[in-house]
Amino acid sequence: GDQVEQSPSALSLHEGTGSALRCNFTTTMRAVQWFQQNSRGSLINLFYLASGTKENGRLKSTFNSKESYSTLHIRDAQLEDSGTYFCAAGPDSNYQLIWGSGTKLIIKP
Amino acid sequence: NAGVIQTPRHKVTGKGQEATLWCEPISGHSAVFWYRQTIVQGLEFLTYFRNQAPIDDSGMPKERFSAQMPNQSHSTLKIQSTQPQDSAVYLCASSLDWGLGGREQYFGPGTRLTVL
C-alpha cells in the first residue's frame, strides 16, 4: 500500500545547530503536511505544501512531488523545538493523510 | 477560532463497555477526519466525512466501531464492547476541503481512551 518513509527516527541537536528531516513517498502524493507533536500530544501545523518550498522563521520545508520526497529543515534549534515531528501526505486518490513514523527531536542546551 | 474541539480529553472504560468520543470541527470546515494513534501502529486513518456524508471508512475496524456526523458542528466515534487493544489516542481533524490549501487538516487535542 501507500507508504511514507520518514527519517531519522530520532535526532539530538545542540541549541543553535540545525539539521534536516526527510520523508520519501512510495506513490504520487498531491500534498504534504508537517506537524510538531508537543509534550501534551497536540499536533501543531507547521507546513502544508502542494509543491515547492515554504519558510517560516527557523523552519523551511520543500516538497518535490516528481521525485517523491519532502524535507523539513530546522536551523538555530531552540529548546522549545523538542518534540516529535511527523510528515503526512495525501495521495492523489483520496483525502486521507498517510503518516510517517515520526522523528523524535531532542534539543540539548 | 477555538480550533477543533474534542471531548472528553481522557476516557477510561472497562472491557466490554461502550465509549463515545465527540468532535466539533472548525466552523466552516466541510471535511472531518478521524485518526487513531498508538505506540505500535503510529497514526492511522479511520474515517472521513464530507458535508456530513460518510465518504471513506476504509480504516475503521469492521466490528464495534462506528462514526456519525449528524450535523455540521459535530461528529461522534462510537466503540462498542471496548477491548484493551482499542486503547489509543483518537484524533479528529477538519479541513476546508476546497481551494488552494483547502485540504490542510487541523487537529484537535485528541481523546486518550484507556480500556482496562
B27-76 tens-digit pLDDT: 999 999 999 999 999 999 999 999 999 998 999 998 999 999 999 999 99
Residue B100 has pLDDT above 60, yes or no: no
For residue B76, give the 3-state DSSP assignment.
strand
Phi/psi for B33 (5° steps) reads -125, 150
B33–A88: do the CB atoms touch at under 8 Å?
no
pLDDT of res. B105: 93
Contact call for residues B15 and B56 (beta carbons, < 8 A): no
Top-level CATH class of A4-108?
mainly beta
Q: Which residues of B touch A96 (CB under 8 A)?
A: 33, 45, 48, 56, 59
Check pLDDT > 90 for residue B102: no
Domain ranges in chain B? 5-100
Contacts of B10 in chain A (CB under 8 A): none
Q: What percent of chain B has pLDDT over 90?
A: 86
- Hey, are the CB atoms on B45 and A98 less than 8 Å from each other? yes
In a mutagenesis test of the B interface, which of A48, A87, A104 is the best target, namely the one with the most B β-carbons within 10 Å?
A48
Within an 8 Å CB–CB cutoff, is residue A40 touching chain B? yes
Nearest to A107 by CA among A29, A20, A13, A17: A13
B5-100 CATH choice from 2.60.40.10, 3.40.190.10, 2.60.300.12, 3.60.15.10: 2.60.40.10
Q: Quick one: pLDDT at residue B62?
A: 87
**In whole angstroms, what is the distance from residue B95 CA to residue B4 CA?**
10
- Return the higher-pLDDT residue of B62 and B110: B110
pLDDT of residue B1: 67
Nearest-angstrom CA–CA distance, A56 and A95? 25
**Which site among A32, A95, A104 would you substitute to test the B interface, given the most B Cβ atoms closer than 10 Å to its Cβ?**
A95
The predicted model gives B15-21 an average pLDDT of: 97
**Cβ–Cβ < 8 Å for B91, B110:** yes
Top pLDDT among B19 and A96 is at B19
Q: Which residue of B has its CA nearest to A45?
A: B106
Q: How far is A108 from chain B (nearest CA, A)?
A: 24
Report pLDDT for B82: 97
Nearest CB to B42 within list A45, A50, A101: A101
Alpha helices in A1-109 (DSSP H): none
Query: Taking residues B80-106, what's their average pLDDT?
Result: 86
Task: Tell me which residues of chain A have a pLDDT lower than 70.
Answer: 1-2, 92-94
Contact across the interface for A40 and B97, Cβ inside 8 Å: no
- CA B58 vs CA A20, A93, B62, B84: distances in Å: 33, 13, 9, 22
Q: Are A52 and A71 in contact (CB under 8 A)?
A: no
- What cell does A100 get? 510517517
pLDDT band of residue B2 (cuts 50, 70, 90) is confident
Phi, psi of B84 (to 5 degrees): -55, -35
Report how far apart, in Å, the C-alpha atoms of A40 and of each of A70, B18, B38, B74, B99 are.
26, 26, 15, 23, 31
Strand, coil or helix: B84: helix
Q: List chain B residues with CB under 8 Å of A35.
A: 107
